[in-house]
Amino acid sequence: MCGIIGYSGPLEAGKLLLNGLAGLEYRGYDSAGIAYFDGQSKIRVVKKVGKVAALRECAAKLGDVSHCGIGHTRWATHGGVTQENAHPHRFGRITLIHNGIIENYHQLTVEYGLEGRLVSQTDTEVAAGVLDAIYSQCGGDPMAALKAFEARLKGSYGFCILFEDHPGEIYALRNVSPLVAAYTPSGALIASDLTALISYTREYFVVPEHHIVRLTPYKVRLYDMDGNKVAPEMMEVSWNMDAAMKNGFPHFMLKEIHEQPEALKNTILPRLAKGLPDFTDDGIPDRIFADCGRVHIIACGTAMHAGMVARALMEPLLRIPVAVSIASEFRYEQPLVDAQTLVIVISQSGETIDTLAAMRLAQGLGSPALAVVNVKGSTIARESDYVLYTHAGPEIAVASTKAYSVQLAALYMICCRMGMVRGKLDQGGAKAFMGDLLDAVPAMEAMIQKKDQVRNLVTHLINAPDAFFIGRGLDYAFSLEGALKLKEISYIHSEAYAAGELKHGTIALISDRVPVIAIATQDKIFAKTVSNVREVRARGAFVILLAKESARVEEDIADIQIRIPDLADQFTVFPIAAVLQLIAYYASVGKDLDVDQPRNLAKSVTVE
Ligand code: M6R
């Protein structure tokens, strides 16, 4: 989604802003722009549809030298992908960039007489117009203007603002949409996420909601809305620059697939005490596992698919109801959660707006919220009652891979701890469970090493208009993620189906043009899935079967078979996930698509 960077200091701002925007490209965007004070302290705006590289060329031609400016990558929401709609927006003495959505923009347009005076279709330009009017009413006092401005806004926003008559200064304001800031030896910096800052500093702070930040070449100051100075809560980046580089891999996605075994170990091992899961250092009390009568998991996209796996794992083991909701649905369906419901919220970014809103709703209904989050200090992490951080490091590719597997690891550990606390697993059982989880790590690694096997099979996929992923039980939960991965980066229409359900309608779509990826790793229902494989094969489908090494089945049951190491049934998701990710990856590469930044998608979805 949109990216923000702002800088004031001794370095050349234009270059720094453009490099920062390049670091934010992974978030997904369709246009980019910068604004800066030029050598005469006049504000110059440069923007362009398309990639940051095009903006760089354009800016270079101007040859300006600046020491203070703001930059933005836009992911269109209000108004199409045009140069006019790209940020920064300028109105009167105000130039600003914005992440989020101003919901009452229409009312503000009318109230502030902006109709006919705007050049774009964006809510952001309306915000600039409103702030300009308020700034004049406040006698050119930025702090007073920002306070009055914020009182008029409804919606989500992270703003960085240049006031024409305050050269060298950047003001920022936030509600919901994240901003991080730092004062570094190279100057003052602000950004929508850490990847834009890490080349300059390891220390930063998350801008609290409803606060103002003022950046000058010498300082970053944080104020509450009454203008009182507030000491920021400093944090340290827990990963190094290498983690956000491709390091010889052709794409971030492939690198992140390879990083999974390490990320899993980083997430699991520090929480093992004598071979058992222990969340003491995370501050998560056993009470929340003992007291609940049910579990409700809430998330979006890949994170929701991790939740689906957790449901299929937890319910049979814990013998309590476990529900999974898509966060954007949960918000509007009068959910039945209460103080006896442990709500588990899953989010890589910790900023997904639907997940955040759903969590707030559940908390309002009395449920304790345990968040499984990858980004330290993110809004969901801060607002949840308990947080279990995953340690995947930064995930740059839009398609989630390592974040998914560490979410699974965290959920498996929660399940194990709950099983212990609720008397469903004795010490020996819990140790065996954790042993099985650890065994899944080399099994996943083994499948990543066999990537050429997958690379060779995608020739059967890349020209297909549609593909199906089928499985039963846990295998069905895995297939949901397989289908999402394939469609989001290869643009092949793909669906996951419970294998036994196909014949109730969907099998009508199976033909010799439709490949079927059948996942059959659950011993108890293996034969049943194999019957479904026969059914689709009989209708001409090209079948790729994923099964355990030891599974006995005729050679010609499928066109291609990929065998994963033998693991206990509940743990096969890890090697299977690697295979499914690699299928999607090589399909995208085979179609010569933008693997890391697929069309229309954004990394962190901070709008509804
Ligand atoms: O940051 P989150 O985990 O909350 O993001 C949720 C989804 O947007 C995300 O998992 C998305 O589906 C994946 N990037 C797809 O690969």
Q: What is the pLDDT of residue 607?
A: 66
416: confidence class by pLDDT, cuts 50, 70, 90: very high
Per-residue pLDDT at 451 exceeds 90: yes
pLDDT computed for residue 241 by the predictor:
65
| 171-175, 192-196, 306-310, 463-467: least confidently modelled range | 192-196
Residue 540 exposed, middle or buried by CB count within 10 Å (0-12, 13-18, 19+): exposed
User: Does the pLDDT value for residue 338 go beyond 80?
Assistant: yes
The mean pLDDT of 50-64, rounded to a whole number, is 90
Which CATH topology does 243-447 take? Rossmann fold (3.40.50)
Where does CATH 3.40.50.10490 sit in the chain?
A: 243-447, 450-592
Predicted local confidence at residue 364, as pLDDT: 97
Residue 555 has pLDDT above 80, yes or no: yes
Ligand 1 pocket mutation pick from 352, 388, 480, 588 by most atoms within 8 angstroms of CB = 352
- Output the average pLDDT for the chain: 94
Residues 322-328, mean pLDDT to the nearest whole number? 97
At 432, is the pLDDT very low, low, confident or very high (cuts 50, 70, 90)? very high
User: In this predicted structure, what is the pLDDT of residue 606?
Assistant: 67
For domain 450-592, the question of CATH label 3.50.50.60 is answered with no
pLDDT band at 506 (very low <50, low <70, confident <90, very high): confident
> Is the shortest distance between the CB of 400 and ligand 1 below 6 Å?
yes
Beta bridge partners of 180: 191, 206
Q: Which atom of ligand 1 is nearest to the CA of 380?
A: 4
Q: Which residues are bridge partners to 183 per DSSP?
A: 188
| Encoded amino acid at 544, one letter | I
Mean pLDDT along residues 60-67:
90
Numbered ranges of CATH 3.60.20.10 in the chain: 3-237
* Dist. CA 210 → ligand 1 center (Å): 26
Question: Which fold, 3-237?
Answer: Glutamine Phosphoribosylpyrophosphate, subunit 1, domain 1 (3.60.20)
Cis, bond preceding 565 (omega within 30 deg of 0): no
For tokens 């109801």, the residue is 321
CA distance 367 to 174: 27
Residues in the chain: 608
Between 23-32, 284-293, 372-381, the lowest mean confidence (pLDDT) is in: 23-32
Calpha distance 53→393 (Å, rounded) = 26
The helix or strand, by DSSP H or E, that contains position 383, with its residue range, turns out to be: helix 379-383
Find the mean pLDDT for residues 377-382.
90
Give the pairing type, strands 466-471 and 276-277: unpaired
Contact 389/346 with Cβ under 8 angstroms?
no
* Ligand 1 center–CA 311 separation, angstroms: 18
Return the residue whose CA atom lies nearest to atom 7 of ligand 1. Answer: 301
For residue 301, report the distance from its CA to the centre of ligand 1, in Å. Answer: 5
Mean pLDDT of 424-447: 98
pLDDT of 482 reads 98
- Predicted TM-score of the model (pTM): 0.83
- Name the band, by pLDDT with cuts 50, 70 and 90, for residue 26: confident
Q: Is the pLDDT of residue 201 over 80?
A: yes
Going by pLDDT thresholds of 50, 70 and 90, the confidence category of residue 113 is very high
> Crossing angle of helices 573-590/402-421, nearest 10°?
170
Amino acid at site 188: A
The confidence score (pLDDT) of residue 78 equals 77
- Beta-carbon contacts of 600 under 8 Å, excluding residues fewer than 6 positions away, are 28
SS3 call for 161: strand
Dihedral sign, Cα of residue 75, residue 81, residue 83, residue 85: negative
Q: Is the pLDDT of residue 270 over 90?
A: yes
**Average pLDDT for 509-534:** 94
Q: Note the Cα 129 to chain centre separation in Å.
A: 32
Q: Are 597 and 27 in contact (CB under 8 A)?
A: no
Provide the annotated active-site residues: 2, 603
Q: What is the predicted pLDDT for the residue at 27?
A: 76
